[in-house]
Amino acid sequence: CQISLSLGPSFQTVDVYSVTVGCTVTSRFAHTIVTSKALNKANTSQEIFFEMELPKTAFITNFSMEIDGQVYVGKMKEKEKAKKEYEKAVSSGQTAGLVKASGRKMEKFSVSVNIAAKSSVTFILTYEELLQRKLGQYEILNRVTPKQRVQDFQIVADIYEPQGFAFVEATATFLTNELLYLVEKTLCFWFIFYYLDLIKCCISHQIVNGYFVHFFAPPDLPRVPKNVVFLIDRSGSMSGRKIQQTRDALEAILKDLHEEDHFAFILFDSSIVTWKDSLTKATEENVSKAIAYVRELRDRGATNINDAVLRAVRMLVEDRENDKLPERSVDMIILLTDGMPNNGESNLQTIQENVHSAVGGKMTMFCLGFGNDVDYSFLDVLCRQNKGLARRIFEGSDATLQLQGFYDEVSSPLLLDVDLRYPDNAVDHLTKNHYSQLFNGSEIVVSGQLINGDPDNFLVEVFAKGPEMDYIVQGKASVVNLEVMYPEQEYIFGDFSERLWAYLTIQQLLEDRFDHLNCKALEMSLQYSFVTPVTSMVVIKPDTEDGPSSPLIADKLTEGRCRKGQNIISFLRRLTRPLSVENQATGPPAHHLYFAS
């Protein structure tokens, strides 16, 4: 898609010749380069801005500025080292972080540089990400916010998917002031959705330079029945809109259950109430009774997460023991909470240990953290330790849709215990190759290195459990010679499979919280030049007439994933800062003190 844009007569003194977004996707691995060229037309020096929003799931890999022929390139460093090295500048508040959170899915990268009269600057930002299949589709998304008038604006996306497309949609939107001729800020928000043609095959391969990637997404499989316990926080903090939105979402979710599914409700505050003592088959009659029950849901009391989760686990275990549930079915707990455990057991680590040992690897736990007061890192660990994941539900008018959207992603398990197996001694440095379940519309990606075997006879086998039978499928890979297939497409960068492998490996290493040092993740982030939670990119700006500039640092933001110690530091910082009236209202809740112990 190509878009040209010219803005009104403001900002006559800076000319942004061009903003170009070049995005190339090779087998779901997206590589994006954003280039902006600007000229300071004024007689005096002035700041020129570059601002860009990128997806949270992306890693920045490079940033450079070219000013009057001189190139300033960002250097990748270990985060802790960068912090120490630039501590002086940081503590005096001179160093502006380049990356800030922006909305639900994006991070904002912004930089400004002082440019001499009649001089020009070129900013180049590069980032990479693996596009995730969700509800059958892949999404590429970004947002550009030029602060000065732009003469030429272009978005060029090249997508190479060997399987072929079923559907592609590209959309770009400009959000501007009402008075176009006074435009000072223009936001171009664009996204591309695409669906692949997965009818023909379910395992696809890419082998380039000895690195392989397998994508596994089987079409047309029947659903595995699920037994889901909804664990609903109805503490006082849920009152008002949140509990209303929860009711609405539950009603929609109930209507979506299939007859072979089973479900239960456990409501908790300081006490625990179950709708029924065991799970209920999702027949039409039972579902309509459940809906009537959900409509009566009201808030009260404090939050006892520990006992509530243990109750849910016990219910599933007992029903299994009593043969009330189909043998081949998935046991799930969906916990919805907006707060912190403040009743019953409230030591977070103890709760995690209790739950982990009670669940014993037998069920999958999903955690939905509702609103801003939730300790997301606690929920994240709690769920990951039990084969699931956590999701944030943002407060707002669309919270009901977010709840439903999450449920849609996990509502149709197709396979259980999915294993991608390779011949002995054929592969090395494999990424995670076992998944507890595969949901409809998602995809399993496994990557690794081929040990000098014959790539033409490279075999992969998928073993899994289906609703009635075991599922086994074999795939034979052959080397795709990209250059031969697409000799004229320069955008297919040769090392994409290696970089995809590195991206996936680093992500999985970082998710493994038991590995506190993460030495391997650090080593790989530096080697492949990725800004990850363990690295920083340092950009040294040119000196100005007023003296030397302080360095700029780009960090990867982490969502509520503070390590011990960091939380208490930010807590103390907030304490020592004078609180305004608003700050007091939303000030740090006392439970953050837990991290001090």
> Footprint of ligand NAG on this chain (CB under 6 A)?
42-43, 62, 64, 71, 73, 124, 136, 222-223, 280-281, 283, 285-286, 412, 440-441, 529
434, two tokens:
């076992």
Q: Which is nearer to ligand NAG, 16 or 383 (CB)?
A: 16
CB-side exposure of 381: number of CA atoms within 13 Å? 18
Q: Is 277 exposed, middle or buried (0-12, 13-18, 19+ CB in 10 A)?
A: exposed
State how far the alpha carbon of 236 is from the alpha carbons of 298, 302, 344, 524, in Å. 9, 7, 16, 46
**Rounded least distance, CB 485 to ligand NAG, Å:** 25
Give min distance, CB of 500 to ligand NAG, in A.
16
Nearer to ligand NAG, 288 or 583 (CB): 288
Mention every residue, 6+ apart, whose C-beta is less than 8 A from residue 126: 31, 32, 33, 34, 60, 61, 62, 63
Determine contact, residues 364/436, Cβ cutoff 8 Å: yes
Q: Least distance (Å) from ligand NAG to the CB of residue 291? A: 14
Nearer to ligand NAG, 432 or 541 (CB): 541
3-state DSSP assignment of residue 60: strand
In angstroms, give the least distance from the CB of 258 to ligand NAG.
9
3-state secondary structure of 281: strand
CB of 427 to ligand NAG, least distance (A): 27
The whole-angstrom separation of Cα 486 and Cα 471 is 35
Measured distance CA(370)–CA(119) in Å, rounded: 49
Closest CA to 420 of 223, 212, 226, 221: 212
Q: How far is the CB of 136 from ligand NAG (least distance, A)?
A: 4
| Bridge partners of residue 537, in order along the sequence | 76, 554
User: Shortest Cβ distance from residue 244 to ligand NAG (Å)?
Assistant: 27
Nearer residue to ligand NAG within complex by CB, 179 or 469: 469
DSSP characters for 255-271? HH--TT-EEEEEEESSS
The least CB distance from residue 349 to ligand NAG, in Å, is 36
